[in-house]
């Protein structure tokens, strides 16, 4: 399939110490990424997880890689098994690993080896409240976050929940990488505005790559 819009040249925007936005970095690989999402979701379907507090998340999620982020009544955890299918999460598609490798190098984290990729799907109105990514045991590894489809407003704060927020629009093909001093910075996604994107239709996808195991 032809990668529409792939002719735009990527550029970088510094976001915070250890954090950078790689604008349009994923554009050239969008077809393979979309195929990867479809393949993963055909094995481990996207689902609305329920938080330990009993709240059903508005974002639909699935995972690929050796570990997947999920919820249960006790809390948030990484599991090698999809609790819905009782089978291992699908393997990480080669196109995912390759893009993550390139983005990590570009952002200054050449040693990053993700073992988990969370696939988020946002329909209009879906949001992710301000949170820290802190379920991973080794916080030396960064977070690599790929945006596809409809644009969304990304909020990026600091180490404290009430630190001032930067608000930036993440568009199709953008990648945010944060690690080092900003690894535990609060972030979130404002409710998705409805619209239509030629590649994803009426939704936004986000791929979040993490090292969720100890990597030893």
**Which residues contact Fe ion by CB under 5 A?**
133
- Residues 6 or more apart from 151 whose CB is under 8 A from it? 169, 170, 171, 172, 193, 195, 204
Q: What, of Fe ion, ligand SIN, none, does residue 185 touch, CB below 5 to 8 Å by kind?
A: none
Q: Does 126 bind ligand SIN (CB under 6 A)?
A: no
- Residues 6 or more apart from 18 whose CB is under 8 A from it? 142, 178, 179, 180, 181, 182, 183
Residues 188-207 that bind ligand SIN (CB under 6 A): 189, 206
In whole angstroms, what is the distance from residue 128 CA to residue 191 CA?
8
Shorter beta-carbon distance to ligand SIN: residue 14 or 216: 14
Shorter beta-carbon distance to ligand SIN: residue 2 or 12: 12
State the residue number with the nearest CB to ligand SIN.
Answer: 206
Q: Does 211 bind ligand SIN (CB under 6 A)?
A: no
Residues in a beta bridge with 204:
122, 149
187 neighbors 157 (Cβ within 8 angstroms): yes
Q: Does 182 bind ligand SIN (CB under 6 A)?
A: no
> What is the token pair recorded at 199?
């590649």
**What's the closest the beta carbon of residue 2 comes to ligand SIN, in angstroms?**
26
- 65 dihedral zone (left: phi>0; alpha: psi -120 to 50; beta): left
Shorter beta-carbon distance to Fe ion: residue 133 or 136: 133
In whole angstroms, what is the distance from residue 161 CA to residue 94 CA?
36
Q: Does 183 bind ligand SIN (CB under 6 A)?
A: no
1 neighbors 198 (Cβ within 8 angstroms): no
**What's the closest the beta carbon of residue 174 comes to ligand SIN, in angstroms?**
9
Residues 134-163 that bind ligand SIN (CB under 6 A): 145, 147, 154
Q: Which residues bind ligand SIN (CB under 6 A)?
A: 120, 128, 145, 147, 154, 170, 187, 189, 206, 208
């Amino acid at each position: 399939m032809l990668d529409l819009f792939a002719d735009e040249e990527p550029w970088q925007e510094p976001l915070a110490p250890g954090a950078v936005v790689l604008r349009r970095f994923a554009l050239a690989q969008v077809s393979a990424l979309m195929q990867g999402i479809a393949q993963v979701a055909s094995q481990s379907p996207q689902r609305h997880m329920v938080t330990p507090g009993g709240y059903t998340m508005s974002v639909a999620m699935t995972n690929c890689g050796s570990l997947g982020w999920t919820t249960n009544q006790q809390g948030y955890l990484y599991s090698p098994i999809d609790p819905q299918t009782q089978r291992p999460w699908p393997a990480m598609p080669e196109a995912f690993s390759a893009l993550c490798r390139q983005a990590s190098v570009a952002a200054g984290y050449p040693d990053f080896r993700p073992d988990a990729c969370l696939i988020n799907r946002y329909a209009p109105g879906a949001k992710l409240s301000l949170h820290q990514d802190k379920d991973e045991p080794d916080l030396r590894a960064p977070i690599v976050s790929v945006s596809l489809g409809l644009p969304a407003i990304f909020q990026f704060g600091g180490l404290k929940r009430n630190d001032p927020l930067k608000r930036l629009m993440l568009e199709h093909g953008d990648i945010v990488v944060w690690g080092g001093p900003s690894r535990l910075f609060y972030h979130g996604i404002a409710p998705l505005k409805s619209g239509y994107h030629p590649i994803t239709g009426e939704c936004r996808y986000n791929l979040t790559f993490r090292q969720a195991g100890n990597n030893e």
